[in-house]
Amino acid sequence: MSTTATSPDNVDCVILGSGVGGALLALLLGRRGQRVLLLEAKSHPPARGAEILKPRGIRVLAEHGLLDELLNRGALERVIIDFYHDGSLLLSYDFAEHTRLGHFLIVPYARIVSVILDACAELPNVDIRFGRRLVDLCSEQFPVSSGLLDDGTRVRARTFVDAGGSMSALSTFVESMRDSSRYGQVLRMATIPVTASVLSRNRLYFSSTGRLAYFYPVDSGKARVFLGFPGAQDALIFERPCDDLAAQLADFVTKSGDALALLRADQFVRVPISAYTSKPYHRENVVLLGSSAFSPHPMTGQGMSYTLEDATVLAEILAAATGPEHLELLLQERYEVRRALHGRLVAYGDALAESYHDRDAYLRVHDPVLHGGDR
């Protein structure tokens, strides 16, 4: 891209990506008086992402005064998830039994993001720019001193954070290596009208042939359905016309018949599955956050909650750092060490994904404490 640099803007932190991690980091730094530039490559905030908030994430939002507004805008409080294997109840997971908070929340991702961004908009020192990308970095001397935007603006900053998840000038600079997991399943998602069975209970179904189906409400009118099939089975069902999707599921989906009747193969879109941890999480004053740093299998339901906690830790570090050496020390002592937590979560997700076809193996792997997402 050919650009002509204009006079530089000066900020404390440039953040790429206005998802939950980047938005919360911008808010917390802004509340500490830092000048923040939050860049989003799209022309609007991200609308698709995780919708499950487990206790760890709920507490973070409460600590930062965001939970009440989120509840006011609409969030479903749930307590129990029923797990089935080959049509029979495998376990009934009760958050009241296994977590101190006693429940989890279901909230559309866009609603969570909007609550945080609206709080950012109240701060004059947080500048949010949509439809803008960082295309280049400048290191007059280490650490990185400025970046060039795609509109030609040069921005000077003390720190840079990549919370966008895709390849960028920042992730290229950090040069992280990813330890990635590979899965044989294909995951797809559809939105359907909510039904009585879905409203009554979140239900996750497994089969011994490697299929899965998850039904949960998003609000009083809509429900999400996730289907997972081994690759060869997925191709037979979704890559050519399938007249009766319900028939492919009825042998192991036994308590959601009213929802099954609404399913058509052409409703479903493919959902990428990626699980990894990156190393390192930073280089000098450039830091990775959220899916730029790690991603667990969606079976854990905890990627967003961990990212909210990571953003809180990172905000404390960036606000406290008095210079490059101090920043490096704090990142090593308090941020890089979070890879161990992420690695444990990723490994747990891998174990769940690799065992759900086998009833006994899944029960051995399932960790009631870790699954609850409490601290």
> pLDDT by residue for the chain (375 residues), tens digit each?
233 444 458 999 999 999 999 999 999 999 999 999 999 999 999 988 899 999 999 999 999 999 999 999 999 999 999 999 999 999 999 999 999 999 999 999 999 999 999 999 999 999 999 999 999 998 766 688 999 999 999 999 999 999 998 788 899 999 889 889 989 899 999 999 999 999 999 999 999 999 999 999 999 999 999 999 999 999 888 887 677 899 999 999 999 999 999 999 999 999 989 899 999 999 999 999 999 999 999 999 999 999 999 999 999 999 999 999 999 999 999 999 999 999 999 999 999 999 999 999 999 999 999 999 987
Task: Please say whether the beta carbons of 237 and 244 come within 8 A.
Answer: no
Determine the pLDDT at residue 8.
58
Determine the pLDDT at residue 240.
77
Determine the pLDDT at residue 4.
40
Determine the pLDDT at residue 3.
36
Rg over alpha carbons for the chain, rounded to the nearest Å, is 22
Q: How many CA atoms lie within 13 A of 345 on its CB side?
A: 27
How far apart (Å, rounded) are the C-alpha atoms in residues 26 and 13? 8
Determine the pLDDT at residue 2.
30
Tokens 């058509």: give the residue. 264
Q: Is the preceding peptide bond at 143 cis, omega within 30 degrees of 0?
A: yes
How far apart (Å, rounded) are the C-alpha atoms in residues 356 and 363? 9
Q: Give all domains of the chain, ordered by start, each with its CATH number.
A: 10-78+104-181+274-354 (3.50.50.60), 185-271 (3.30.9.10)
Tokens 């950090």: give the residue. 174
How far apart (Å, rounded) are the C-alpha atoms in residues 167 and 170? 8
Helix (H) or strand (E) holding 274: none
How far apart (Å, rounded) are the C-alpha atoms in residues 218 and 221? 8
Determine the pLDDT at residue 165.
80
3-state secondary structure of 11: strand
Determine the pLDDT at residue 1.
28
